[in-house]
A and B are shown apart, each in its own frame.
Chain A
Amino acid sequence: MKPFQYSCPASLQEASEGLIHAIGDVRLLAGGTDLTVGLRHGHFQADTVLDLKRVVEMKPKITASQNEIVLSGFVAMTAIAQSDLINRHFQALAEAADVVGSRQIRNRATLIGNICNASPAADTVPVLAACGASVDIFGPQGARSMPVTAFIQGNRKIALAVGELVTAVRLPFKNGQTGTAFGRITRRRGVDLATVNLCCHIGATGLATFAFGAASPRPLVVTDTSGMLCDPNTTEDQIDAVIDGMVAQAKPISDVRASADYRVAMLKVLATRALATALQRQREALADV
């Protein structure tokens, strides 16, 4: 690894200033599971690494209010997968967090890191995108918030201005009315990056939304505005046709993990399965309230 300087700001303010005043390339460090690999392989350059783990405002916390769940600071995947709140209201997020890497990786990998790394194959991103999550951003101009779908601009591209960093993730919800499910295809069962992944979200309005991962440079969100997918009277053939139409919007690439054809076909399989699971979960949630 190329030598670099390291600093450990204590507050967001300090971190933001550090970003602005650093000489040369500066990189933020959360759990390091993407950053360290990137630095080692030379995909990332850094003259300075700003480690945010000691920033007081970045202490991990998962809280719920009337209409949203907030994951503030560096919440790691292990904590998300084990969180009762998340498992109760956003099972898909717990499922996605639980398949990231291995136990060792999940102990370190943060949700914010997963978003900010902006890999098209990131597992939590489709969930966040389908559920309408947003990120809180701190910066020299003060704090702002932005939907995840807009925040991720492309492969490894995020909408941060100089001096800005992400501080929290917000998930809007209405108690007992949503059902979510996550699905992914990998080349093997153990530790692997997604060939494709997706999340199905059934909202309080009774519409099904899918977000597809590893299918385009940025998360692709499609909603079944016809409402047919959630209508108990829709036939299997009709569901098939609707899903076909939604999947057709994905334009995945062929690469070392899979061909575009396989990716498209798997999105369809996953979508059908996730829809059934999400509907089932919504029914159970309704029954619970």
Chain B
Amino acid sequence: MYETMTISVIVNGTAYTCEVAPHVTLLDFLRDTLDLKGAKECCAVGECGACTLKVAGETVNSCLFLAVEADGCEIETIEGVAQGDTLSPVQDAFLTCGAVQCGFCIPGMVMSAEDLMAQNGAPSETEVREALSGNLCRCGGYNRMFDAVNVASGHAEEVKMQTGHADTGATVGTNAVRAGGVNRVTGHQAFVADLEIDGMVHLKLVTLNAARAEIISIDIAAACAVPGVLDVITAADLPDPMPRFGPVFKDRPIMADGETQYHGEPVAVVAAEDKDIAAYAASLVKVDYETLPAVTDFAAALAPDAPLVQPNAEARSNILKARDYGWGDVDSVNAALVVDNRYSFPMVTHFAIEPHGFIVSAKPDGMTIWSPVQHPYLLQKIMAELFDHPLSAVRVLAADPGGGFGGKQNPKFEPLVAYASLRLGRPCRLILTLEETFQAVRRAAADVHIRTGFAQDGEILFQDIKSDYLIGAYVDIAERVMTKGNYLGCGPYRVKNARVHARAVLSHTTPSTAFRGFGTPQINWAVESQIDAGARALGLDGLNIRLRNLAGRGDEVVKGDFPADGDWPASVKMAAEMVGWTDPLPEGRGRGIAVGVKSGATTGLSNSTVRLLADGSVIVYAGTSDMGQGARTIFAQLAADAFGAPLDRVSVVMGDTSVVPFDLQTSASRSTVFMGTALTRACEDIQRQVLELACETSGLSEADIAVGNGTIQIAGEFHSIFDFVQQSLGKWNGELVGTGRMRKPTDPEHALGGTPAFFEFNCTAFEVEVDEATGEILIHKHVTVGDVGKALNPLQVEMQDEGAAIMGLGHSVMEQIIMDDEGRIKNLGAIDYRIVTTKDMPLSMKTGMVENQDGPGPYGSKGVSEGAILCTAPALAAAVAQATGAVVHDLPLSPERLWAALQSK
């Protein structure tokens, strides 16, 4: 298809001589020709470092390196770092220090850390941050990586991974090593882009440089003429009327239907034998289109004569849904102080380091889908409906996502890929670029107008909130995001009178979806900033005013609903203590503190099957997606302890809808509670069978035998179930199978369809210093404390908490999608959309947790993965306000914005 050249390289000590085309990057050559898939592609512009490897002894971004340039060179990749089964000290430390979450960034990160160690055996903290700053980790493992380098370099003591409590052997409550961790530090974890399916065709989307446009004609001739191109599919090739789908509203077309509704909506898709040809041919598809007026911000979307984004929707406006909540009587309150402000929160994007990817092998009678989707069973259902298949004919193989954060919950291009596969009779693969990923999903922007009434002593007398969420052209799950975020809009306080009027406003922009915090960070930015505004006006302290109003255990935060289920003031006091709230404030510094609460999952069903095999080993089936939160590890711990089995005898099977029973979804920090309970029940089911087995084998009656967590007591003698089944189950010649489920039924009367299963509560505090000349913030301390019920794996709780905190820092100080007047995104991709790097990390970041075993999950656990993102921005802004006197109402608090605020102070 194109001319190639012969190159010779030595990779990890093995010599290869191969043919390669000049335009092929070293990254693609290693991955596609040599099948070394450890190095990953995310940004393809040298920003993320996922593709880092060594050429001739120096680390490089292999996405910017042509394979032909490497001719004659020695190359070292992540696959060559471990010696056989022996991990390098860096790899080992990454695992034991908890640096590995989803793992997508890890191969590149390990290469950079290895390089640092080779250059400088005893790096300082600053040198570590510098050396790793070309590697982005969206899961936010930076703090753990700093630890790991310290451990690997002998600066810090080696952490011994616990495999169980010394006395009981129990794994719950210990820092059990991340299941799947070894594969992630060695580059062997297979993500969706690493899968090779026989006969696979490569797809590329064709998009327009416009937001809303009428498609007049599409000329595919030039693209079709490129050797290697198999097909160019346009809307005309798809069923008429255009099939539409969505998790709730079925409004998203398979591809643009006559008109694009947002920048990046595909108008055609090219199918070719390789991805470079597909991409090149896509650039040759000529689309004649006419740009139409687009509404891409609140003012335009809400204007009386605004073009309607969904003309066929019931509402004759772009307001998709409005919700009203409240209690008491706001208007009749006589408040000592009323604070009235408007706050904005920009559109931000998930930026998982793994871009979205989909592979579908479709046949007339069924299909297999490979997708790193957070909700495999929802995808299965939607595809079965679209293609008129029974659920059993649609198999979803959900590869572990390389980070999800909500962005990978719902189907996107799986239907399009399936149509292509049906047409071509071959499996089709579409791996999005990071730029395309930005155009696929995002977080809703918010505009919140809020009036808060205070008594002289700081008591919150009323909250009067008007809150608009700017959602995209298709609804996805955005309406629920607005609903759920605003339902708890008044925060974790006892508010006497409340009125919340919240709206989801459609616009010609990227569809907005779930994103860590699910609508809470937006509203909470406003509500928590109001508390500080009140405190400043009343001369009160940010900590005291919160303690004055915070709901205690059993207090209602929404009148008539599920009351506070934790000791929230304890978290706040711990955070204050950790940040040194009462210590004298160093010159030029400021401190801020804020709280946030989010409703856990409200409804849903999770099933689990557990098999206890004759040799005591255990297989757990759980339909959760392990996207970095470490669900696999927690599930393995729960099952290990249920049978007194060593952790390495438990395997967890996930992500195959044809094998693993139904789980509603992986979201709302629900997995530990919902799936954890289901699997605990499945284990209990087995424990009952163990009892039966023991009666049979011992001839004793049930009264003489006691089965508990992990152990069985027969005639006064204790055994682990693990040992017992090995001796006894052999006689049955089989295994024990248990099933369990947790279901929280829908309550049609409840605004959210059900009360929260638990609350996720967090308190965040900062100590900062500001360079007033430039507006740059230096964060000395960033602490977060969660009310976690029980930390089943404290290290994982910290990892989740830090990850959420760092992500929160991102939207607080640098993240935002910027559009031009016509709704085209100007900062697509990694060059101009900024996320936190190692060098942007606070000088100190610490996590605390309050454990009262008061959650509904196993051992009294609650979900934990979102808390620390809920109140980052208001806590930081309060600290900045104290340090400088400048109060900012719009995010992000970028240096420029803060500088501008300081100018007009």
Chain A residues near B (Cβ < 8 Å):
1-6, 8, 29, 32-33, 36-37, 39-42, 49, 51, 53, 78, 101-105, 107-108, 185, 187-193, 195, 256-259, 262, 265-266, 269
The 0/1 profile, CB within 8 Å of A marked 1, for residues 812-844 of chain B is 011000100000001100011010111110000
For the complex, would chain A's binding face be called helix, strand, loop or mixed by DSSP majority? loop
* Structural contact, A2 and B64, CB atoms closer than 8 A: no
* Structural contact, A36 and B774, CB atoms closer than 8 A: no
Complex interface: chain A residues within 8 A of B134 (CB): 101-105, 191
9 more CB-based (< 8 A) A-B contacts, given A3-B280, A8-B68, A102-B134: A37-B46, A103-B59, A103-B133, A104-B112, A190-B836, A192-B834, A193-B831, A257-B832, A269-B774
Among candidates B49, B63, B773, B895, residue contacting A102 with C-beta atoms closer than 8 Å: B49
Min distance, Cβ B311 to any Cβ of chain A, angstroms: 32
Among the stretches B20-28, B302-310, B619-627, the one at the interface with A is B20-28
* Structural contact, A187 and B814, CB atoms closer than 8 A: yes
Among candidates B23, B133, B895, residue contacting A4 with C-beta atoms closer than 8 Å: B23
Q: How far is the CA of A193 from the CA of B827 in the complex (A)?
A: 13
The answer to whether A32 and B23 touch (CB under 8 A), given A188-B834, A266-B774, is: no
Min distance, Cβ B686 to any Cβ of chain A, angstroms: 49
Complex interface: chain B residues within 8 A of A262 (CB): 896, 899-900
The answer to whether A5 and B22 touch (CB under 8 A), given A32-B69, A103-B130, A256-B832, is: yes
Q: List 25 A-B contacts (CB under 8 A).
A: A1-B25, A2-B23, A2-B280, A3-B3, A3-B23, A3-B280, A8-B68, A36-B25, A36-B64, A39-B23, A49-B22, A49-B66, A102-B135, A103-B115, A103-B131, A103-B134, A107-B58, A185-B895, A188-B813, A188-B814, A190-B836, A192-B834, A256-B826, A262-B896, A266-B774
Most buried by A among B68, B112, B134, B837: B134
Q: How large is the interface on B (under 10, 10 to 19, 20 to 34, 35 or more residues)?
A: 35 or more
* Structural contact, B834 and A187, CB atoms closer than 8 A: yes
The answer to whether A188 and B836 touch (CB under 8 A), given A102-B49, A102-B133, A258-B896, is: yes
Complex interface: chain B residues within 8 A of A8 (CB): 68
Q: How far is the CA of A266 from the CA of B68 in the complex (A)?
A: 43
Complex interface: chain B residues within 8 A of A101 (CB): 46, 134
Complex interface: chain A residues within 8 A of B773 (CB): 269
* Structural contact, A105 and B61, CB atoms closer than 8 A: yes
For the complex of A and B, list the 7 residue pairs with the smallest distance between their C-beta atoms, beginning with the closest.
Answer: A102-B134, A190-B837, A6-B22, A190-B839, A189-B839, A190-B133, A3-B2
The answer to whether A107 and B895 touch (CB under 8 A), given A32-B66, A190-B837, is: no
* Structural contact, B837 and A259, CB atoms closer than 8 A: no
Q: How far is the CA of A32 from the CA of B546 in the complex (A)?
A: 54
Considering the complex, give the chain A residue whose CB is closest to the CB of B2: A3
The answer to whether A104 and B49 touch (CB under 8 A), given A1-B23, A51-B69, is: yes
The answer to whether A104 and B59 touch (CB under 8 A), given A40-B45, A187-B834, is: yes
Among candidates A40, A42, A51, residue contacting B44 with C-beta atoms closer than 8 Å: A40
Among candidates A53, A107, A258, residue contacting B59 with C-beta atoms closer than 8 Å: A107
* Structural contact, A187 and B895, CB atoms closer than 8 A: yes
* Structural contact, B827 and A256, CB atoms closer than 8 A: yes
* Structural contact, A108 and B60, CB atoms closer than 8 A: yes
The answer to whether A189 and B837 touch (CB under 8 A), given A5-B3, A104-B49, is: yes
* Structural contact, A104 and B896, CB atoms closer than 8 A: no
8 A Cβ contacts from B32-58 to A: 44-47, 49, 52, 58
Complex interface: chain A residues within 8 A of B831 (CB): 193
The answer to whether A2 and B283 touch (CB under 8 A), given A33-B64, A185-B774, A193-B831, is: yes
Instruction: Determine if B195 is an interface residue (Cβ-Cβ < 8 Å).
Output: no
Complex interface: chain A residues within 8 A of B827 (CB): 256
